[in-house]
Structure 1
């Protein structure tokens, strides 16, 4: 049995971009859920509507904000992941920098932890690319 493909979207304030994303993902059969502001303490599994997950007891996240657009894909892997990303590109959807796929580990994380982890990983990649560029200049 094929598992339902889903996308969590957060922070996409451009209404045209959001509409194009929704249209393209739905055309591909990917169910879309928008992550509400302030859902930082919610588990990824809860945001996806998975059984066994309950709403967080506390919504306080110490004033945490994440100013970036986020897309989290569930049950979209390998060649299908490549096809979905290509379809978004072909549709003219402007790049979303922070993307992730759901894993058995991060489904248990809060949305805040997922965003912080993606930001750290992007920072590490940026430093690595700068190092490579500097080495090439020598």
Structure 2
């Protein structure tokens, strides 16, 4: 019998007052939660998850990255389970999270910054599509 993979979630840029509600939901559902620090954007997703072989980013430059959205990353949570998690967050009064992504073997190689930028581009493109379709 295959062992069930540990469900984990990463929170980024959540306001303090929402973190407690999210923590309660994930604790109730048995999902391990990591709240990422503001400067986590420099790191690869794999490093943030503590996956073997990922090292801390060396460059500690003074470059600045600003991402004003809340981001939820989910590992091994999909389908009905994902629906249940999102409904539980909604029931707990957590505002809808537009930036959420599944953690994949592919995006663990990305820095958090790259993932944020990638998602921002996708959001802009789908908003543009919705505008176009609405104006036809």
CA deviations on 1:58-89 (whole Å, 9 max, x unpaired) are: 13372111111111011111221111111111
Q: Which residue of 2 aligns with 1:68?
A: 69
- Write the mapping of 1:85-100 to structure 2, written as runs, cut at 5 A: 85-100=86-101
Distance 1:62 1:27 in 2: 38
Structure 2 residue 67 is matched with structure 1 residue 30: no
CA deviations on 1:101-128 (whole Å, 9 max, x unpaired) are: 1011111100000000110000011001
Structure 1 residue runs of 5 or longer lacking an equivalent are: none
Distance 1:73 1:48 in 2: 11
Conserved 8 A contact 1:46-1:53: yes
Q: State TM-score, norm by structure 1.
A: 0.91
Distance 2:62 2:87 in 1: 35
Structure 1 stretches of 4+ with a deviation exceeding 6 A read none
Q: How many residues align?
A: 134
Report how far residue 18 of structure 1 moved.
1.1
C-alpha spacing 1:61/1:105, structure 2 compared with 1 (3 Å): farther
Q: Secondary structure at the match of 2:40?
A: coil
- Write the mapping of 1:98-137 to structure 2, written as runs, cut at 5 A: 98-135=99-136
Structure 2 residue runs of 5 or longer lacking an equivalent are: none
C-alpha RMSD over aligned residues: 1.2
Distance 1:61 1:119 in 2: 23
CA deviations on 1:32-63 (whole Å, 9 max, x unpaired) are: 11111112220101111222211111133721
